[in-house]
Structure 1
Amino acid sequence: MDTTSTLYYIFLLLQLYALTYHFYHPPTGLVSANKMRLLKLLSASCAILASPLWSGEPAQPYQTASALVFFASYALFAWSAATSRPRRFGVIFADVFPEYVCDEGPFAYVRHPVYASYTLGWLACILQSAGRRGGLAQSSVVGAAACLCGLAWLYNWAADLEERQFADVRNVNSEGEKVAGAYAIYRGRTAKWIPGIC
C-alpha cells in the first residue's frame, strides 16, 4: 500500500470518529435529517470514487501534493478537536443552543476550522485519485470533484446554521444574550473560512 492510500484511509477514519464520537448527537436531534443523509451519501460517493483500490500508485507530483494537503487537514482537525474537546460541540446539523463561544486555537483564526479540515481532506482524496494511472481513476475524478462541491455546499450550509443558532440563542435567557453578543463580536473579527480573506 502506498503512502497516499494510507493517508486516505486515515482521513476516512477521522471522519468516522468525528461523526460518531467527537461531536455529540443531542437529544433534540437534527435540524435537517435530509441534509445529514445527503452528507453521508456524498461522503460515501466521494470516498468510493476517490478510492485507491481502483488503480496503481499516483504520479509523484500528485502524491506529494495530496500528502501535504492530507497533513494540513489532519493538523487542522487535530488542533480543532484538541481545542473543542470531545462531546462539547454538537454533530453537524445538530439542533442546539450554543452555550459558549470557542475563540481559541484554530477558532481564533477561522470560525469553522473543522469544516475547513474536512474540505481539505476531501480535496486531498481527489488529488491522490487524479494522479493514479488508468481510465477508471481518471474518470472518477470528475465525479469525486462533483461530490466535493456538494460537500462544500453542505459544510457552508451547516456553518450558516450554527451562526444562526448563535444569533437565536439570545431569545433563550440572559445567558443566551451574553453568548449571542460574544459571538457577534467574535464573528466581526474572525474570518469564516480563510484568515484575512473570507
Structure 2
Amino acid sequence: METALDIAVTCVSVVVVGFYSWSLRAHFSSPQVPSGFKVISAFVTATTLYFLYLVWSVTQPVSAQIIGLGLEIVAAAMFWWAIAASRRARLRFAFDPDNPDSLVTTGPYRYVRHPFYTSYIVFWAGWAIATWTAWSILPVIAFIVIYVVAAKGEEKKFASTPLAAEYDAYRRRTGFLVPKLISA
C-alpha cells in the first residue's frame, strides 16, 4: 500500500505542478517576467524536488498520504475553477508592476479574492502533509508569505485604477484567501 500511495502522491503532485506550469504560458500574461515571479518559479522547482525526495525517502502514515492527496485534488479543482472564471481577463504574473485592468468576480472569485494563491497554498500544504515531516512545513510557510505579499501588492494597485470603487466593494464582501463566513 505504501508504494502505491507514494506513486499516487508523486503522480498527482507532478501533474498539479504541471498544471501550474502550463498556466504560465497559456493563461497568465505579462509584458515581461517580473523578478519576484522568477523567485517563485525557482522556489517551486526546489520545493518540488525536495518533496519528491521526502515522499520516497521517508515512511509516511497512510492517513497522511490520503489526506495530502485529497488536499492536492481540492487545490487542482480550485485552480481549474479559477482558470475557467478568469479566462477572458488575461491576468498577469505575480509581482507584475502594471496596474490591473479587469476585475473577476465570478466562479471562486465570488468567495475569495485570490483563488489561485489559495489553491497553491492548499496544494503545498497537502503535499507537505503527504510527506509527513516537520521540515516540509518551512517551504509551506515561505509560500504563504510569498503569496500573501503578492496578493497584498495586487490589491494595493487597484486603488490607483478606475476599478478602485468597484474593487473596494468587492473586497468588503469577499474573503482574502478564505471565504468570509459572515458578510459585512
TM-score tier (shorter): 0.7 to 0.9
Q: State the partner residue of 1:134.
A: none
Instruction: Name the aligned partner's letter for residue 157 of structure 1.
Output: V
* Alpha-carbon contact 1:22-1:87 (below 8 Å) kept: no
Shift of 1:90: 0.4
C-alpha distance in 1, partners of 2:113/2:100?
14
Query: Quick check: 1:21–1:86 contact (8 Å CA) kept in 2?
Result: no
Aligned equivalent of 2:49: 48
The structure 2 residue matched to 1:121, chosen from 114, 120, 123, is: 123
Matches within 5 A, 1:146-165: 146-165=138-157
Q: CA–CA distance in 2 between the matches of 1:109 and 1:162?
A: 17
The CA distance in 1 between the partners of 2:174 and 2:180, in whole Å, is 8
Q: Given that residues 24 and 87 in structure 1 are in contact (C-alpha distance below 8 angstroms), is that contact kept between their aligned partners in structure 2?
A: no
User: How many residues are paired up?
Assistant: 176
Shift of 1:197: 5.3
Query: TM-score by structure 2 length?
Result: 0.86
Q: Distance in 2 between matches of 1:86 and 1:124?
A: 29
Structure with the greater alpha carbon radius of gyration:
1
Q: Which structure 2 residue ranges, 5 or more long, are not aligned?
A: none
86 and 126 in structure 1: CA distance in 2 versus 1, 3 angstrom threshold: farther
Quote the Cα distance in structure 1 between the aligned partners of 2:123 and 2:169. 30
Superposition RMSD on alpha carbons, in Å? 2.1
The structure 2 residue matched to 1:19, chosen from 24, 41, 63, is: 24
Contact kept in structure 1, 2:37 and 2:93, CA below 8 Å: no
Which of residues 69, 72, 82 in structure 2 aligns to 1:70?
A: 72
CA–CA distance in structure 2, aligned partners of residues 86 and 54 of structure 1: 40
- What stretches of structure 1 move > 6 A for 4+ residues in a row? none
Distance 1:86 1:18 in 2: 14
Q: CA deviation at 1:104?
A: 0.5
Q: Which amino acid aligns with 2:141?
A: C
Distance 1:57 1:10, change over 3 A: farther
Q: Which runs of 5+ in 1 are unaligned?
A: 131-137, 170-175
1:109-153 CA-to-partner distances (Å, cap 9, x unmatched) read: 0000000000111111111211xxxxxxx4xx51x3211111111
Offset, 1:102: 0.8
TM-score by length of 1: 0.80
